[in-house]
Amino acid sequence: MLAAAVKTPCEVIVTYNLKDFPEQALKPFGIEAKHPDKFLIDLYHIDGEIVIHELHEQGAALNQPRTINQVLSSLEICRCTQFAQLIREKLAL
């Protein structure tokens, strides 16, 4: 994964496996490793309106549509609990 990130103009590796991507190994390449939860929170702070729109789109895109609350519950299962909590607070769910 690091080789691919170095070869392309990549700034962030999104991974649950942060221990295999220490900062000192990534820094010379200008790359940062982020947990998916942190990455999604950062995206929200860049443009929360688009993130919330995409969450609604994800729920609507399935054969059996899901509410945004159900989409957030799925993200919690994927260990993105802080992001899900942030969105619930912002939408007063």
For 12-41, how does the pLDDT look when each residue is reduced to its tens digit (9 = 90+)? 999 999 999 999 989 998 999 999 999 999
| Burial degree of 68 (CB within 10 A; 0-12, 13-18, 19+) | middle
What percent of the chain stands above pLDDT 70?
92
What is residue 24's DSSP assignment? H
The total of structural domains in the chain comes to 2
What mean pLDDT do residues 62-86 have?
93
Is the CB of residue 85 less than 8 Å from the CB of residue 75? no
Same domain, 42 and 77: yes
Domain with 66 in it: 36-91
pLDDT-derived band at 4, boundaries 50, 70, 90: low
**What predicted TM-score, i.e. pTM, was given to this entire model?**
0.86
Same domain, 42 and 64: yes
Same domain, 45 and 78: yes
Same domain, 49 and 79: yes
Check pLDDT > 90 for residue 89. yes
